[in-house]
Chains A and B, each alone.
Chain A
Amino acid sequence: MVMPQTDAAFRTDAVPAEVAVSARNISKTYGEVEALKNLSLEFPRGQLTSLLGPSGCGKTTLLKIIAGLLEPTSGEIVVNGKPVKGPGPDRAFVFQDFALLPWANVLRNVAFGLELRGVAKSEREDIAEKYIKEVGLAGFEKSFPHELSGGMRQRVGLARALSVDADVLLMDEPFSAVDEQTRRKFQEDLLNLVKHENKTFIFVTHSIEEAVYVSDQIAILLPRPSRVSEIIRPTGLRDKDVDMLRRDPEYLDIVDQIWASLRSYVE
């Protein structure tokens, strides 16, 4: 499948895997403002793709269009060969501000996606309990969100997204509202998750280090109007020891390279 790339300079070091999600010529305008212009991008299956760019570059808009929460002005999103018409069971969303129900305990929050799908109570609670354990919140099933720390709340949001067993996980700056130490732990956990769950991750971030640390593919978006300016695949990093990654020369080079191309856009 060859997609017209208007503005993108590809660095195709590796043969791309099978495509799970593709954005085709997406444009989005809010009145006069052009948020996204003719943006095309492919997301390989089973890998994590980061959308990275300065604020206002439309990365969250693109993610919400993929989720089906926003409609593009033109262009289409194709997930597993089917065009997106709205939210679907093949995608799950992790929100920046967690979006937990404050009146529901952890168990019900995690099971909420399944509840909306009409899964019977005992069954959905079994599934939810499994994922609560998996994200490390065992023992907090009966706690309410206001009793949890920011990091724990985002684990609830993650468990909720995992429990609906969608192919594609959409994450909107999921770690930006948690503290630095928790964020590092999250990033390590995310690498494990990508390795062990056969899911496609689309990850919005404004942190260059975070993107290089966790991604198989980084799409750099430049603003006004947004387009993909560059795609970087830090393939060499993925086989290296996670504990050594942050002082790996290749890691540092890629971080510098991305900063060099972004710095002129940061006001």
Chain B
Amino acid sequence: MTRSFALKLLSALLVFGAWEIAGRIPVSYAFPTFFDSMSALFRMAFDGSLFVAYAETLKPLVLGVAISAFIGIALGLWIGLSSWFDWLFSPIFVVMQAAPLAALIPLLVMAYGIGLTSKVFVVCIMAMPVIVLNTAGAVRNTPQNLKAMSHSFLATDRDVLLKVIIPAASPLIFSGLRLGVSAGFIGAILSELKITPTGVGDIITFSRSIADYPSMYAAIFSIILLAVLFLNLLEKIEITLFEGNVRGYASD
């Protein structure tokens, strides 16, 4: 525990140190030092503008990620269980995953306007495919012997789904969620850069236009930090729900 914490601290020190040095050289006039960026972050946090921005950004993010998680897992289970639904739905998500999203945003704006709906769509398009495809793949690959075992001990179809298929699929479902959530964060910022500048996207766009690079990097840093915290939370949830999944990869 302490050793892994020390390693994390060390890796953070290395990254931030490299950032500070690169900023001091400087590698580019548009690249601020670590300390300048942090002081900009604290300034925005203390004058409250950061929180106002997040209140705006979190709306499409939380909505989109929640929709993607619930609908994505449900659809993934369905696709994994029925070859017919696999045939019907899988191609949509494969296309969605491969689509160049930035190029499609104008279409979304034409269809749904510049409001929250379009932004939620962008988050969903980014987050959902990997959740659906991971869940479906995991369900299809449920160990055959565990299904035979539960049948021989008189499991109903519902038992097999709830007590064998879902727990067996849970490590892959959670890894899909982790990837999906990270993609959702990217989608949320992308929508604020491409549709209408609001929230954190607005800080990034505005500070770049007035060459206030420390603020711009502070905003980017804060969204990455939030994503990392959220992913850690997700891992905690996984460990609480599926204790037995902890076989090496989901730790501390």
A residues with a Cβ closer than 8 A to B are 67-69, 87-89, 91-93, 95, 97, 99, 101-105, 112-113, 115-117, 144, 146, 160, 164
Please give, as numbers and ranges, the residues of chain B lying within 8 Å of A105 by CB-CB distance.
244
28 intermolecular pairs with C-beta atoms under 8 Å apart:
A67-B152, A69-B151, A69-B152, A87-B153, A89-B154, A91-B152, A92-B152, A93-B149, A99-B146, A101-B146, A101-B167, A103-B170, A103-B242, A103-B243, A103-B244, A105-B244, A112-B153, A112-B163, A113-B154, A116-B150, A116-B154, A116-B155, A116-B159, A116-B163, A117-B154, A144-B247, A160-B153, A164-B153
State A105–B245 Cα separation when bound (angstroms): 11
Instruction: Indicate which residue in A67, A69, A99, A104 contacts B244 across the interface (CB closer than 8 Å).
Output: A104
Known A88-B154, A116-B150; contact A99-B145, beta-carbon cutoff 8 A: yes
B residues with a Cβ closer than 8 A to A are 145-146, 148-155, 159, 163-164, 167-168, 170, 242-245, 247
Chain A residue nearest to B155 in the complex (CB): A116
Please give, as numbers and ranges, the residues of chain B lying within 8 Å of A93 by CB-CB distance.
149, 152-153
Please give, as numbers and ranges, the residues of chain A lying within 8 Å of B247 by CB-CB distance.
102, 144, 146
Chain B residue nearest to A70 in the complex (CB): B148
**Least Cβ–Cβ distance between A84 and chain B, in angstroms:** 12
B148, B153, B167: most-surrounded residue (chain A CB, <10 A): B153
| Sample of 7 more A-B contacts, CB < 8 Å, known A95-B149, A97-B145, A101-B244 | A95-B148, A99-B148, A103-B245, A113-B153, A113-B154, A116-B155, A117-B153
State A144–B245 Cα separation when bound (angstroms): 10
Chain B residue nearest to A147 in the complex (CB): B247
Please give, as numbers and ranges, the residues of chain B lying within 8 Å of A97 by CB-CB distance.
145
State A192–B252 Cα separation when bound (angstroms): 45
Please give, as numbers and ranges, the residues of chain A lying within 8 Å of B153 by CB-CB distance.
87, 92-93, 112-113, 116-117, 160, 164
Instruction: Indicate which residue in A87, A95, A103, A144 contacts B154 across the interface (CB closer than 8 Å).
Output: A87
State A101–B168 Cα separation when bound (angstroms): 8
Chain A residue nearest to B156 in the complex (CB): A116
